[in-house]
Amino acid sequence: MTTEKFEYKNWWKGASAEEKDAAFQFCSGYLSFLNRHKTEREVVAYTEALCQANGFTDLNEAIQQGERLQPGTKVYQNLRGKAFVMAVIGTEPIEKGINIVASHVDSPRLDFKQTPFYEDTDMVLAKTHYYGGIKKYQWVCIPLALHGVVVLKSGEIVHINIGENDSDPSFVITDLLPHLAHEQMNKKMSEAVHGEGLNVVLGAIPLAEEKEEAEEKSKENHKDPVKMNLLKILKETYGVDEADFVSAEIEVVPAMPAKEVGFDRSMIGGYGQDDRVCAYGAIQALLGLTEQPARTVMVYLSDKEEVGSMGNTGAQSAGLTHCIAELCALTAPVYSDLVTKRCFANSALLSADVSAAVDPNYKDAQDKLNATYFTKGVVLEKYTGSKGKSGANDANPEFIAALRAIYDEHQVAWQTGELGKVDLGGGGTIAQFMANLGMQVIDCGVPVLSMHSPFELTCKADIYNAYLAYRAFLKAYK
C-alpha cells in the first residue's frame, strides 16, 4: 500500500525547458496587457476587440434577430462598458450547466470627485475619493496617470489617458518633508495620510490675459487664475468644461510601468494585478480552446469587486443572470424559467481572484501550514471571508476533489491556502454571490505580494499555471 505525499513543490524545479519557455512567453503577453489596460473600461474594450477578431458574435445582435445559437457559436456581451461575458456554446443542452471562470477587472485606485478642481497656494489640484482598500501613504510621492471618460450632455464620450507615454506629463500627491513631519510620523500609519489629503497636483501657471481682457473678466476668474488656465487647457485639448466633470469617471492610477522583477526575471511587478492577472489568464484560456466543448464554457469579467460588488456592473447585479437567461432562451428547444434555474444548479464556477502569498518579511501574518507561496502554482482557496468565515463561500469538498483530479491529470501545479491567520484579517471575493445562484464555486487564483499597493508582485510560474488551470477546467469539468 502506498500513500500520496502531501507536498506542494517549486514548479521551476520540475519544469522542462519547454515549459519554462512557455511560461515566459505567456507572461510576456501578460506584461504588455498590464501596461496598456489599467482600468475596467480598458480591459473590457480590449476583450471586446479580441472577441471580434476571433469570430465572436455580439449577443445583443443575436437577441434582436432572434438567432438560434448552435453548438460552437461564440458570443459576447458588453455590460455597460465595465463588465463583460464571453462564451462558446457546447454540444450538451445548456440546462446541464456551464463551466465559468469569473474574475473582476476593477482595482484599488483614486477617483476624481464630481467637483474636483480647486486652487491653493498658486497651484491647482484635484480632489479625489479613494476606491477600494488602500494604504493611503503608498499613494503619495509617486508618478500618477489619469485614465477615464468624460461624458458630455450630448452623449459624446471623451476618453482621457494622460501620464503613460514618455512625452506625457505626470501627476503627483505631495507629502510632508521629514524635517517638518515629527507630528505626522508619530501617528498610526492609517492616520498619517488622510483621505481628504489625497489631492493631485495638476498645474501652477496662471491664465495669461491681455490688460484690456483682464479688466473685463469677472472677479471670480481673477480669484483662481491657475485653475482658469487648467480649464482653458482642458477645453482646448479635450473640448470639455468644468461642468462636464459631473458626468465623468476619471481614475488616478500609478504611472509606473509594469516590469519584470529579479535578476532571473522570474516575477512581474506592476499595478492592478489584483485581479487582472487572473482575468488575463481566463480570457486567454477560453480563446485558446481549439476543440468543440461539450458543456458551454464562459468567462465573466465583473466590476466593483473592490467595493463590495455593488452597482449594475458588479457581481451582485443581474447582469450575469440576465445574460445566461438569454443564452438559455436562444439555445433550449423550449424555454422556461426552469431551464435557467437548472442551468445555474448544474453550473460550476472558478472565482478567479488572487490570494495573499507568504511574504518573507512578514511571515507572522500567515499560518504556514495553510498559506500560499510563490512558485507553487495556482491557489485553490476553499473559503475567504474573515473572523469565522464571515462573507465566505466555503466550497464543497466534492467540487474540490473533482478539481484536484482535473489539475493532476492535466499537470497543473496547484496549492491550497487561506488569507492569513484566523482573526488577523481576511477578505472577500465574488465567490459568495456566484454561489448564491446555486452553482458549485471555489476561489482559484494567483498568489500575490504587496496586494492593493501601487506595485504588486506575482511569480511567472503561478501566472502560467493559473492559465493552465482555467483552460483545464473549462474543457474537462463535467
C-alpha cell recorded at residue 78 = 458588453
Helix (H) or strand (E) holding 65: helix 59-65
pLDDT in tens, 65-114: 988 999 999 999 999 999 999 999 999 999 999 999 999 999 999 999 99
DSSP label at residue 87: E
Residue 114 backbone phi and psi in degrees, to 5: -70, -30
pLDDT at 212: 47
Q: 460-476 and 273-287 helices cross at what angle (nearest 10)?
A: 40
**Nearby residues of 53 by Cβ (< 8 Å), 6 or more positions away:** none
Q: Where are the alpha helices (DSSP H) in 247-336?
A: 273-287, 319-331
Q: Name the residue with cell 521551476.
A: 12
> What pLDDT, on a 0 to 100 scale, did the predictor assign at position 387?
82
Grid cell, residue 385, equals: 471571508
Nearest to 313 by CA among 104, 47, 79: 79
Average pLDDT along the chain, 478 residues, taken 10 residues at a time: 71 96 98 97 98 97 92 97 98 97 98 97 98 97 98 97 96 96 94 96 90 53 88 96 97 97 98 97 96 97 96 96 96 92 97 96 92 96 87 93 97 93 86 95 97 98 98 96
Quick one: pLDDT at residue 288? 93
CA distance 292 to 457: 36
| Prediction pTM value | 0.94
Single-letter amino acid code for the residue at 387 = K
Q: Residue 420: what pLDDT?
A: 87
Q: Do 412 and 454 touch, CB atoms closer than 8 A?
A: no
Report pLDDT for 361.
Answer: 96
Residue 401 has what pLDDT?
97
Burial classification of residue 18, based on how many CB atoms lie within 10 Å of its CB (0-12 exposed, 13-18 middle, 19 or more buried): exposed
Hunting for cell 458574435 — which residue is that? 57
| CA 276 – CA 279 distance, rounded (Å) | 5
- For 92, 137, 191, 279, 315, the CA distances from 455, given in Å and listed in that order, are 44, 13, 22, 18, 26
pLDDT at position 214: 52
- Positive or negative torsion for Cα 207, 212, 213, 218: positive
Cα 75 from Cα 368, distance rounded (Å): 43
Phi and psi at 250, nearest 5°, equal: -105, 120
- Domains belonging to the chain, first-starting first, are 11-107+271-476 (3.40.630.10), 109-254 (2.30.250.10)
Model pLDDT, residue 3:
58
